[in-house]
Amino acid sequence: MNPILLLIILIPIIEIYLLIKIGSQIGAMSTILLIFATATVGIYYAKYEGLNTLRSGFAQLSNNETPAYEVISGAAIAFAALLLIIPGFATDALGFLLIFPLSRKMIFNKLSKKFKTKKKKRNNFIEGDFEDIEDDDDRKI
């Protein structure tokens, strides 16, 4: 089964389960207020971290450096803000992990090690000489 389709099915199931469990422990109104509070705090912190990442990217551009980490970090912060807007506790936890710089850097390091390919030193060159031979039989039709 496609992993994206599986996530689309499993994430709402997990969120509903957590909402029911937490709601039965602390009450329905407290659960709703907690969802709004995490969304509000998360969005403001995402804005703060996004501006810090933007400043850092401009500083690297002014030093003639490529702001590759800042671009990836900005995309992760935007995704984290989306996760924090979605009501639920599992998406909020993942969103907060992506917003905090320390955990974001740890996640990036894990992913970069996973996708890094081993560089082999190979020469893909074949040396040789060529000679251009004109043939009288080549006629244009």
Q: What is the pLDDT of residues 79-91, one digit of tens each?
A: 999 999 888 999 9
Domain for residue 129, yes or no? no
Give dist(CA 74, CA 49) in Å, integer. Answer: 9
> Does 29 have pLDDT greater than 90?
yes
pLDDT at 25: 94
Range of weakest confidence among 31-35, 100-104, 113-117? 113-117
Distance of CA 82 to the CA centre of its chain: 12
CA distances from 108 to 38, 56, 57, 104, 127 (A): 24, 17, 17, 6, 42
41 or 1, higher pLDDT: 41
pLDDT at 126: 73
Domain for residue 59, yes or no? yes
Domain for residue 122, yes or no? no
Domain for residue 2, yes or no? no
Expressed as residue numbers, the domain containing 27 is: 11-105
DSSP 69-101: HHHHHHHHHHHHHHHHHSSSHHHHHHHHHHHSH
- Whole-structure pTM value: 0.73
For the chain, the domain total comes to 1
Give dist(CA 74, CA 57) in Å, integer. Answer: 9
